Structure 1
Amino acid sequence: MVERSAEDATSPASPSRGMVLLCVLAVAAGIAIGFVGGVFRWCLRHLDQWRVDVLQWSADLPGPGWLIPIAVTAVGATIGAIVVRVVPLAAGSGIQHVEAVDRGEADPPPLRVVLAKFIGGLIAIGSGLILGREGPTVHMGAAIGAEAGRRARLGVNDIRLMQTSLSGAGLGVAFNAPIGGALFAFEEVAKSFRLRLVIPTLLAVSVAVACSRLVLGDRSDFMVAEVETPSIVVLPVFVVFGLVTGVLGVAYNRVILGAIALVRHFGHVPPIAKATVIGGIIGALLAIDPLTAGGGDTLSQQIFDGGSMVLPVVAGLLVVRFLAGPLSYAAGTPGGLFAPMLAVGALWGVLFAALADLLLPDDQPSLRIAMVIVGMSALFGASVRAPITGVVLVVEMVATTSVTIPMAVATACAVLVAHLAGSPPIYDSLREQMLVDMPPGPGNPEGTARA
């Protein structure tokens, strides 16, 4: 628990003025992250198309054209690692740092994190690494919120509150999901629904997503045809699906931590060189099949569109992305875990739906799209341990509410299994690891220097 500092002590007449100031700052900072995050996503969208064009061009070249995607992703990972060398806080998702700041375990991020995450994230994610856009936007939002608090000479607790509120705005911009972004700040970061946090966060998220839509347009992240509400008769199928997904979520978290440990095992190799090698590996996957790498949105949309992928291909993509996503994250470049995790959940939903179709009576409608949607939220819940955020986030991303009951049931079962298995939430593990790596200082009094 963070103690209340003298700076935060207020007279009986000041709390209202303090709340108004927080709200004004939240709106101003929300506008900033809305446009910054919107431009970030716009650039990534064009880089994704550029990467597809490069892959098509290289495939038509005589000779070893497959070396080009390997080189592109390796260079992107290298530049991302160089950015982290200059600004160490730019490494990875950044969400674990946001949570550490909220708990008083680390100092709020400086404004230079915005530029580092923006440039490093564009290059690393745009080159084809299996990373999510949400990590950079969350951390950029947190840095903008903290800077707004510093400029307004707020007390240390309110600066932390601002960075937490704006981290939710960053997630909302990343997925065009304002309510999901707000819930992320409450359920995952602060683990609290205090009124002093709720009001500024709702304002920041609303303004941020509205501004990002001026850049990106007003549409959900995924275009999904109307989904028929699953019958109550098949609800037990979703219970089983959730329970098995909980096991998958535990395994996914262990693969992430295992990949990081594996890369760290080669301590004699410079981090930039390790990132280059990992980038080359992911680039080789891109050369084989563009759907094996990248953030995963294209893959998920193809699934929603009813793309003709045979089950062995779906299973292969699931295994490859299940392993290669954590490996990409272990490279230490700017980038998050959420978007690739959602793609894994979508693939898992396709496989489980195929099995369910075999076991259910013939008069049952196909559960394919419903399982895809539920798979996204259930795997998110099992890994991150934020079930309400997972359900609402996916509902906003697919713009459909017909599957909310199966989503809630399956996600609750997945989280229950992960909890009973004793598997900690992924960002708790990453935060503890980050604090061990940070040198001791005012923001990390108990930390130890990197070995």
Structure 2
Amino acid sequence: MRGLILICVTATLAGIVIGFVGGAFRWCLQAADDARTDFVDWTHHLPGPGWLVPVAAAAIGATLAALIVRWEPLAAGSGIQHVEAVYRGDAQPPMIRLLPAKFIGGVLAIGSGLVLGREGPTVHMGAAVGAEAARRARLPAAEVRMMQTALGGAGLAVAFNAPIGGTLFTLEEVTRSFRLKTVLATVFAAVAAVGCSRFILGNHPDFHVEPIGAPALAWLPLFVVFGLLTGCLGAAYNRIVLWFLDNVARLVRIPKVAKAAVIGAIIGLAMFVYPLAVGGGDPLTQLILGGHHIVLTVVVGYLLVRFIAGPLSYSAAVPGGLFAPLLALGALWGLLFVGVFDFVWPGNVDALAIPMALVGMGAFFGASVRAPVTGMVLVIEMTAATSVAVPMMAATAAAVLASYLVGSPPIYDSLRERIPAEEALPPSGAQAESDGTGHGSAPEGGFAADERDGEKGV
């Protein structure tokens, strides 16, 4: 009983820390979005080759982020796969020095326009705060791993202003189990974190969506078809992400910092042409969900640019995640699907544009991450739109089924397998609570890693 109270108190205090840190991180990114839009607009009025200015600016931002990763290699990429590896006992919990590296590196990388998500850094910063809090509370090694997992979920809750979604992420995606300690620690941390972040960001959903009626049940088969297609598209996106990770370094034999600069320059050129096609994607998503009319050819352009720019940006190995770009892609894909269907059946699907965009956000997330409940809850919490719950469930289930049938594993399973050996393996003598075989003890959930992996790919 006393141990459980200590865990809950520790989780709450750590949640307060990541709430203010994550809220400040999001505020910086919002300010960067606004500044970047004004900056690109200014470059369009420059005499001569004004496009070189955003190209140089994005390259500098990516370079500085890569230099931070050189100082703290663990700051590269999303970090969610590392949180999962730590919970499984395959890696050491992060140290607190990761927090400034993820914060500053994430602001530089995402703020300069790279198509990356804010949730990776906030999850990893939350994990670092949770692990440090658990160490200071003198919790055993297994509970240090559990605490970093719970605070990782709190970090996701802050990233999307979605406390239930962040809690579900921990239980559905990372631990794949419901254990009392983990559930309580995650809930206390998520509530404290989101409550504190709202002091900075405001007490309202992330996206403003006008009230919409529930789509007629007669359209449900169309949503299922949409979900099946989304599953195939999500599988393709995962493969492109992994292809870039596996091949960019081979194709471009230059130092990592120079590679990040080149990728930043490419994104900077896309930023000059399509300012809304870069960055995390929230302004573009808000335009779609706000009912703003976007010409279908422009939707196609945005979708194609972000479909390639996201994996390309992730291959730069700078701080940034995949979730937020997935949501923007899902909204674009939903809008495109309705637009194309309108050619086949003109005048009958106009009212489905926003519902299909909302459904696309959840379905695309489910197809790529293979955490369907988390994806649906995140979208509903971010938009406060519950009227599309039934079609979203149908489409997301169909998307996950399709991605499974085409043999696409969950993206974070694939990324976890690519963690460098020097990061994945605990240092000699550091395995607290070793079972005597050279392997760390099983996580608090009580399952060995290979037992939990029985559902891998499902």
Please give the range of the TM-score, normalised by the shorter of the 2 chains. Answer: over 0.9
Q: Which of 316, 320, 327 lines up with 2:312 in the alignment?
A: 327
* Distance in structure 2 (CA, Å) of the matches to 1:109 and 1:424: 26
Cα deviations by residue, 1:24-80 (Å, 9 ceiling, x for unpaired): 000000000000000111111111111112112111111111111101110010011
> Where does the alignment leave 5 or more consecutive residues of structure 2 unmatched?
432-437, 440-458
Cα deviations by residue, 1:268-306 (Å, 9 ceiling, x for unpaired): 410000000000000000011201211100111111122
Q: Which residue is 1:86 aligned to?
A: 71
Aligned 8 A contact 1:121 1:335 in 2: yes
Aligned 8 A contact 2:252 2:259 in 1: no
Helix, strand or coil at the partner of 1:333: coil
Question: Are 1:290 and 2:265 an aligned pair?
Answer: no
Q: Which of 18, 34, 43 lines up with 1:49 in the alignment?
A: 34
Aligned 8 A contact 1:169 1:178 in 2: yes
Residues 355 and 437 (structure 1 numbering): CA distance in 2 closer, same or farther, change over 3 Å?
A: farther
Q: Which residue is 2:181 aligned to?
A: 196
Q: Which of 154, 157, 160 lines up with 2:139 in the alignment?
A: 154
Question: Are 1:338 and 2:323 an aligned pair?
Answer: yes
Alignment of 1:235-246 (within 5 A): 235-246=220-231
Question: Are 1:273 and 2:276 an aligned pair?
Answer: no
Large movers: runs of 4+ above 6 Å = 443-446
Question: Are 1:391 and 2:382 an aligned pair?
Answer: no
Q: Please report how far the alpha carbon of residue 359 of structure 1 lies from its aligned counterpart in structure 2 after TM superposition.
A: 4.4
Q: Which residue is 1:3 aligned to?
A: none
* Distance in structure 2 (CA, Å) of the matches to 1:330 and 1:145: 28
Question: Are 1:211 and 2:211 an aligned pair?
Answer: no
Q: Which residue is 1:113 aligned to?
A: 98
Aligned 8 A contact 1:136 1:336 in 2: yes
Aligned 8 A contact 1:237 1:356 in 2: no
Aligned 8 A contact 2:267 2:309 in 1: yes
Q: TM-score, normalized by length of structure 2?
A: 0.92
Question: Are 1:25 and 2:10 an aligned pair?
Answer: yes
Aligned 8 A contact 2:90 2:424 in 1: no
Question: Are 1:264 and 2:249 an aligned pair?
Answer: yes
Q: Please report how far the alpha carbon of residue 364 of structure 1 lies from its aligned counterpart in structure 2 after TM superposition.
A: 6.0
Question: Are 1:184 and 2:157 an aligned pair?
Answer: no
Q: Which residue is 2:155 aligned to?
A: 170
The alignment yields a C-alpha RMSD, in angstroms, of: 1.5
Q: Which of 246, 268, 289 lines up with 1:304 in the alignment?
A: 289
Residues 260 and 276 (structure 1 numbering): CA distance in 2 closer, same or farther, change over 3 Å?
A: same
Aligned 8 A contact 2:63 2:257 in 1: yes
Question: Are 1:378 and 2:381 an aligned pair?
Answer: no
> Where does the alignment leave 5 or more consecutive residues of structure 1 unmatched?
1-15, 447-451
Residues 379 and 364 (structure 1 numbering): CA distance in 2 closer, same or farther, change over 3 Å?
A: closer
* Distance in structure 2 (CA, Å) of the matches to 1:342 and 1:399: 15
Residues 269 and 161 (structure 1 numbering): CA distance in 2 closer, same or farther, change over 3 Å?
A: same
* Distance in structure 1 (CA, Å) of the matches to 2:137 and 2:323: 32
Q: Please report how far the alpha carbon of residue 441 of structure 1 lies from its aligned counterpart in structure 2 after TM superposition.
A: 3.9
* Distance in structure 2 (CA, Å) of the matches to 1:267 and 1:61: 32
Equivalent pairs counted in the alignment come to: 431
Q: Please report how far the alpha carbon of residue 437 of structure 1 lies from its aligned counterpart in structure 2 after TM superposition.
A: 6.2
Q: TM-score, normalized by length of structure 1?
A: 0.93
Q: Which of 248, 258, 261 lines up with 2:233 in the alignment?
A: 248
Helix, strand or coil at the partner of 2:177: coil
In structure 2, give the amino acid aligned to 1:71: A
Alignment of 1:333-372 (within 5 A): 333-359=318-344, 366-372=351-357
Residues 160 and 439 (structure 1 numbering): CA distance in 2 closer, same or farther, change over 3 Å?
A: closer
Greater Cα shift, 285-294 or 262-271: 262-271
Q: Which residue is 1:5 aligned to?
A: none
Aligned 8 A contact 2:15 2:189 in 1: yes
Helix, strand or coil at the partner of 2:44: helix
Aligned 8 A contact 1:78 1:272 in 2: yes
In structure 1, give the amino acid aligned to 2:314: Y
Aligned 8 A contact 2:92 2:424 in 1: no
Aligned 8 A contact 2:121 2:319 in 1: yes
In structure 2, give the amino acid aligned to 1:298: P
Aligned 8 A contact 1:102 1:160 in 2: yes
Q: Identity over aligned residues, as a percent?
A: 59
Aligned 8 A contact 1:70 1:279 in 2: yes
Aligned 8 A contact 2:363 2:392 in 1: yes
In structure 2, give the amino acid aligned to 1:88: P
Q: Which of 313, 324, 333 lines up with 2:298 in the alignment?
A: 313
Q: Please report how far the alpha carbon of residue 230 of structure 1 lies from its aligned counterpart in structure 2 after TM superposition.
A: 0.6
Q: Please report how far the alpha carbon of residue 130 of structure 1 lies from its aligned counterpart in structure 2 after TM superposition.
A: 0.5
Aligned 8 A contact 2:152 2:170 in 1: yes
* Distance in structure 2 (CA, Å) of the matches to 1:367 and 1:274: 42
Q: Please report how far the alpha carbon of residue 439 of structure 1 lies from its aligned counterpart in structure 2 after TM superposition.
A: 6.9
Alignment of 1:224-239 (within 5 A): 224-239=209-224
Q: Please report how far the alpha carbon of residue 357 of structure 1 lies from its aligned counterpart in structure 2 after TM superposition.
A: 3.4
Aligned 8 A contact 1:357 1:366 in 2: no
Q: Please report how far the alpha carbon of residue 440 of structure 1 lies from its aligned counterpart in structure 2 after TM superposition.
A: 4.6
In structure 1, give the amino acid aligned to 2:212: V
Aligned 8 A contact 2:92 2:426 in 1: no
Q: Please report how far the alpha carbon of residue 355 of structure 1 lies from its aligned counterpart in structure 2 after TM superposition.
A: 2.9
* Distance in structure 1 (CA, Å) of the matches to 2:348 and 2:43: 47
Q: Which of 67, 71, 88 lines up with 2:56 in the alignment?
A: 71
* Distance in structure 2 (CA, Å) of the matches to 1:70 and 1:267: 19
Q: Which residue is 1:4 aligned to?
A: none
* Distance in structure 1 (CA, Å) of the matches to 2:348 and 2:21: 50
